[in-house]
Amino acid sequence: MDTRRIGSLEVSVVGLGCNNFGRRLDSDSTSAVVDAALDVGITFFDTADVYGGTKSEEYLAHALGRRREDVVIATKFGSAVDEQTRGARPEYVRRAVDDSLLRLGTDRIDLYQLHTPDPQVPIEETLGALDELVNAGKVREIGCSNFSADQLREAEEATREGAARFASVQNEYSLLHREPEGDVLPECERLGIAFIPYFPLDNGLLTGKYRQGKDAPAGSRLDSGRGERLLTDRNLDVVERLIGFSESRGRTILELAFSWLLTRPAVASVIAGATSSEQARSNAAAAGWELSDAELAEVDSILTRQG
């Protein structure tokens, strides 16, 4: 599999999101998914302290075992583990990293990310604590998630000369959610920050399993109240057109979803979760479509067409 860079880190262009570990998958099922991901060349694993009620980090560590040295582990802090365990205060950052290191069974985190901005803490204070972690060898690179372009600029301006700076930002981005194109992606290119898209399949809407005129598959992620926001007539119409576009070229909408994101220069790795070995393999195989300029223009026309 091709690789790209996040600061000093070399990562596979498809990464494995670990939010299902400890939530939808037990330890044995997690190991099966991780094994399949490694077999197809995925080396970038993205988790967080809150995933699976802190079990995700533990299950990932167990699944990797001695192969930890072969992969890049990204985790996050800042979201509420409980009422007392949250935020971006320097004293909490120091505690959170040690907790994650223990759960991950490792002596360093390759990419340590602030999960969400903390308006109660000046960003320079958080960056100072993160720089301490880098200097102590506990963290190799630092990143952020759910940051706006203004917040990225503020963080860059607050970084002391020679100190660790955000190497990446992880925000939602997909064919159906193009908000980052307005300002965050251009800011990433200007600052040399890697962009990591999450929800690249828009909660499964871009897998082809949800079709116009058909009920959502029983037990699927969108077979519930939250599906109402995504399973709109417009979205389903766009999906049908994207499926037609892909199939006319002997491809799938899954391939389009991954490969389209990877045409963006700032995108380093597209992370998607998997609940089975088959999903992990399918996601890895989906990044090989080299879209031409004409194809990209046609996709853009489908996405912006009215009615």
225 pLDDT exceeds 80?
no
**DSSP run (H or E) holding 139:** strand 139-145
The amino acid sitting at 73 is I
Nearest to 152 by CA among 181, 117, 126: 117
Q: Which two tokens stand for residue 154?
A: 């503020």
Cβ-contact 118, 142 below 8 angstroms: no
As a whole-number percent, the residues of the chain with pLDDT over 90 amount to 87
**Cβ–Cβ < 8 Å for 37, 274:** yes
**Beta strand segments in 148-247, E:** 166-172, 194-198
Higher pLDDT, 213 or 257: 257
Tokens of 205: 């809407």
pLDDT at 218: 60
pLDDT score, position 233:
84
Q: Is 223 a residue whose pLDDT tops 90? A: no
pLDDT at residue 289 is higher than 90? yes
Contact of 260 with 213, CB cutoff 8 Å:
no
Region for residue 10 given its phi and psi (left: phi exceeds 0; alpha: psi -120 to 50; beta: otherwise):
beta
For the chain, the domain total comes to: 1
Using CA atoms, how far apart are residues 34 and 85, in angstroms rounded to an integer? 28
Active site residue: 51, 92, 112, 198, which one? 51
Pairing of strands 166-172, 139-145: parallel
* 266 within domain boundaries: yes
Host domain of residue 89: 3-204+254-290
Instruction: Please indicate, yes or no, if residue 168 is contained in any of the structural domains.
Output: yes
pLDDT band at 221 (very low <50, low <70, confident <90, very high): low
Question: Is 14 a member of any domain?
Answer: yes
Contact between residue 75 and residue 143 where contact means Cβ atoms under 8 Å apart: no
Residue 277 lies in a domain: yes
Residue 222 pLDDT class (50, 70, 90 cuts)? low
pLDDT digits (tens, 9 = 90+) for 150-178: 999 999 999 999 999 999 999 999 999 99
Does the pLDDT value for residue 307 go beyond 60?
no
d(CA 49, CA 116): 13
Distance, in Å, from the CA atom of 15 to the CA atom of 157, rounded to the nearest integer, reads 30
Q: How confident is the model at residue 283 (pLDDT cuts 50, 70, 90)?
A: very high
> End-to-end distance of the chain based on CA atoms, in angstroms?
39
Query: Do the domain assignments include residue 118?
Result: yes
C-alpha span between 193 and 143 (Å, rounded): 9
Residue 220: pLDDT band with limits 50, 70, 90: low
Position 305 scores a pLDDT of 84
CB 86 within 8 A of CB 49: no
CA-closest candidate to residue 206, choices 178, 168, 171, 180: 178
User: Does position 108 have pLDDT exceeding 60, yes or no?
Assistant: yes
Can you tell me the distance from the alpha carbon of 90 to that of 96, in angstroms, rounded to the nearest whole number?
10
**pLDDT score for 24:** 96
Cα 27 to Cα 32, 201, 208, 305: the distances in Å are 9, 25, 29, 45
59 is catalytic: no
Q: Is residue 307 part of a domain?
A: no
pLDDT per residue as tens digits for the range 45-97: 999 999 999 999 999 999 999 999 999 999 999 998 887 778 999 999 999 99
d(CA 291, CA 245): 12
In a domain, 50, yes or no: yes
Confidence of residue 208 (pLDDT cuts 50, 70, 90): confident
In this predicted structure, which of 76-80, 217-221, 281-285 has the lowest mean pLDDT? Answer: 217-221
Quote the distance between the C-alpha of residue 25 and its chain's center. Answer: 18
Give the separation between CA 291 and CA 276, rounded to whole angstroms. Answer: 28
> Residue 81's pLDDT is what?
85
| Residues 146, 166: Cα–Cα separation, whole Å | 13
Summarize pLDDT for 232-262 with one digit per residue, the tens.
888 899 999 999 999 999 999 999 999 999 9
Give the mean pLDDT of 107-117: 97
On the question of pLDDT at 230 being above 90, the answer is no
CA dist 236 and 225 (Å) reads 17
CATH number at residue 11: 3.20.20.100
Return the higher-pLDDT residue of 86 and 193: 193
Establish if 126 belongs to a structural domain.
yes
Which residues have C-beta within 8 Å of that of residue 193, sequence separation ≥ 6? 152, 166, 167, 168, 169, 187, 266
Compute the average pLDDT of residues 176-181.
96
Mean pLDDT is lowest, of 9-13, 72-76, 84-88, 227-231, for 227-231
Amino acid 215: pLDDT: 64
